[in-house]
Chains A and B, each alone.
Chain A
Amino acid sequence: MNKHGQLIRILFLYPQEMNTYGDWGNVLVIQKRLEWRGFRVRIIEHHPGDRLPSDVDLIFFGGGQDSGQSLIMDDLQMIGPQLNEWIEAEKAMLAICGGYQLLGREFVTQTDKRLPGLGILNFTTYAQADRLIGNVIIENQHFGQVIGFENHSGRTFLGQDLQPLGRVLQGAGNNGEDGGEGVIYKATIGTYLHGPILPKNPKVADWLIAKSIGITSKELVQLDDKYVARARSIAVASSY
């Protein structure tokens, strides 16, 4: 299945406006883990006003500041239908923080103003004054413990039909109330976890990579990952 030299196309949405706190590192991790396995990678940056490519294999949508989000909203509404089609067609996608929130139905501000999201996934995010900040550990049945760092004021509540990415062991997660963190739907993962999430959670990275190739994680060549175990145990120890 591992076709040497196969080209994987990564769509990087709004790298200037939606790129906080090292989140671009997720794109680097996917690129390197593909290249180390002999794949070729093309990163297609999508800026406001650009035309989308006709097809892609993996989509990354990072978090942004309020000002960054306001710069992309018009363009995002334009490309929304295509993103919806790709997500439904099981394209691999990783959306972080603001990017995650925008996949939902709407964002409700503190003054009850309802800002529409893309409406691809059935969830709503409510703004609150205080921020949820700190180390996070969640448990997912495929990935085991997933670790990261959260910093968000929005509280996301998933619809009944959606599964969270994991159950919160440490930290706040989607809303600090229902014990869920993020969302996993088809080949799409949405999450509040920065860190960035992928370097210390290579199982999540490889799941996305496998989805982008159309194989299972088990069929991927194992990588060395010599620093990961220790980096993870230190991060876990400093989370409590």
Chain B
Amino acid sequence: MRHVRNRAALLAGRLTGAVMRIGGKNSTALPGYIAEKFGNSPLYQMMRQRSFHARIVVTGTNGKTTTTLLIKNILERAGFEVVNNSSGSNLSRGVLTTLLRDKRQGQWTILLLEVDEASMPAVVSAVQPDRIVVTNIFRDQLDRYGEVDFTRHLLEQAIGTAPNTRLILNADDPHVARLAGDDKNAIFFGLDVTGIEALKHDHASDVPGSPETGSPLIYQRRYFGHVGLYRAKDRSFERPYPDVSVSKIHPTSAGQKISLRVGERHAQIESQMRGLYSAYNAAAALTVAYSLEIDIRTAEEAVMNSKAAFGRQESLDYAGSQFSFYLVKNPTGFNQVIQAELQKMVNRPLLIIINDNFADGRDVSWLWDVAIEDIHPKIEVVVSGTRAYDMALRMEYAGRSCQVIEDPLDALGKLAQNNSHIIVLPTYTALLQIRKALNLALEHRS
């Protein structure tokens, strides 16, 4: 296994930008270079002095925070202590800070880390996780790592430094599935659900060719973006058979009911979170439980009782109105909210708040990859934030009218006057700003 993984990392291909900065210029020496470079890192030294029952790393473009939260709830319900970082500290120094603050360890303690893709080589080489969960790989903002290829290279290099890790991968995302290479020990999760209608204006998919031959992929089913059931035209690559598979998703008033096959067993979850992406998050968490041989009923109950993470399908009452928050950071995340909530007419206004502060991404070109055309044309839209006018332009070219209220709190106040329920789609700093104003930020941060 070690040999194969290292070879995969060696073949990782052309390296640019941050990888070069992380890994040095000689790409073929990269795993060794990373081990050498991070071998003396404070995080590595810290890890040498700590022992855990398991060390789990969760990464991917979307769903990291919610998936990590679900896993945490499962582990705690199963009786483990969990040392866990918050989503705000998912870079390597945040991981180090978490370990400095939380000294728990031992055979009943599990280290569970949400890790940003760019920090994966540093964190994985130092932490040597026994499980790495990858949710999906999508295009992010242009000023972050940007390209999907580039993010995949980062993960390949990280995995190459941890030969004994067990990969837990989304079978339905070809960029993620191919991370397994020849590794027979990888575990997969996926969806085998019929009747899902993909968005008509999804511009955020990056369909790769077969990793073996470059042959184009053909989709038998497409759920969203490049996620679905696929195989290469020349059959050199196909969606792996999932060990954990969602067979049915049924919307309920409180959320959705999900039926899954977990290995040979069946599970059913009434989740408080809606949407296909929520089903993927639940499947990923149950796959971790499955790999740790945690009782399936325990895992079911933990997921059922899980509440939304900060700003993710989170509802708050304020000034007599209900606000539902859906954090949006990249086109696929935004599209998922449209697919789950906004394609049909809803009698509540939509407030889209686009900021371009550093934590949001300085670049706003990603708005053009959002399927605005798929939002029901009768939904009232107000746009706000530092880049409100970029969003207004996007709306205009989608043939939609909107109102611009540049100040988010102004917009919120005006909407609250006439509406009992408002859907809010903020970027990260906009979410923080509003939550601060609603004076609830501290209570809800995990």
Is B340 engaged at the interface, CB distance under 8 Å to the other chain? no
Q: A22-B368, A134-B143, A153-B17 are in contact. Are A227 and B392 (CB under 8 A)?
A: yes
Q: A67-B149, A67-B208, A67-B209 are in contact. Are A129 and B16 (CB under 8 A)?
A: yes
Cβ contact within 8 Å between A65 and B404:
no
Number of residues in B with C-beta < 8 Å to the partner?
A: 41
Contacts of A129 in B (CB 8 A): 16-17, 20, 25
The interface centre, meaning the residue of B139, B148, B150, B393 with most chain A CB atoms within 10 A of its CB, is B393
Contacts of A78 in B (CB 8 A): none
Stretch in B303-311, B342-350, B358-366, B428-436 touching the partner? B358-366
- How far does the alpha carbon of A33 sit from the alpha carbon of B444 in the complex, in Å? 46
Contacts of B17 in A (CB 8 A): 129-131, 153
Contacts of B142 in A (CB 8 A): 20-21, 133, 149, 151, 194
Binary CB contact string for chain B from 23 to 51 against chain A (1 if under 8 A, 0 otherwise) = 00100000000000000000000000000
Contacts of A238 in B (CB 8 A): 356, 362, 386
Main secondary structure on A side of the interface with B: mixed
Cβ contact within 8 Å between B16 and A131:
yes
Contacts of A101 in B (CB 8 A): none
Is A25 engaged at the interface, CB distance under 8 Å to the other chain? yes
Q: A22-B203, A133-B143 are in contact. Are A227 and B208 (CB under 8 A)?
A: no
Contacts of A162 in B (CB 8 A): none
A30 to chain B, nearest CB (A): 10
Contacts of B209 in A (CB 8 A): 67, 70-71
Is A207 engaged at the interface, CB distance under 8 Å to the other chain? no
List residues 1-56 of chain A with CB under 8 A from any CB of chain B.
Answer: 16, 19-25, 28-29, 32, 48
Tell me the nearest residue of chain B to A150, going by C-beta: B142
Is B369 engaged at the interface, CB distance under 8 Å to the other chain? yes
Cβ contact within 8 Å between A66 and B365:
no
Q: How large is the interface on A (under 10, 10 to 19, 20 to 34, 35 or more residues)?
A: 35 or more
Is A182 engaged at the interface, CB distance under 8 Å to the other chain? no
Contacts of A196 in B (CB 8 A): 365, 368
- How far does the alpha carbon of A19 sit from the alpha carbon of B389 in the complex, in Å? 23
- By a beta-carbon cutoff of 8 Å, the part of chain B in contact with chain A is 13-14, 16-17, 20, 25, 139, 142-143, 146-150, 203, 206-209, 214, 216, 331, 356, 362-363, 365-369, 386-387, 389-390, 392-394, 396-397, 399, 404
Having A24-B203, A151-B363, A194-B363, one finds 10 other A-B pairs with CB under 8 Å, namely: A20-B146, A20-B147, A22-B369, A25-B394, A66-B14, A129-B25, A130-B20, A131-B17, A234-B387, A234-B389
- By a beta-carbon cutoff of 8 Å, the part of chain A in contact with chain B is 16, 19-25, 28-29, 32, 48, 65-68, 70-71, 109, 129-131, 133-135, 149, 151, 153, 194-196, 199-200, 226-228, 230-231, 234-235, 238
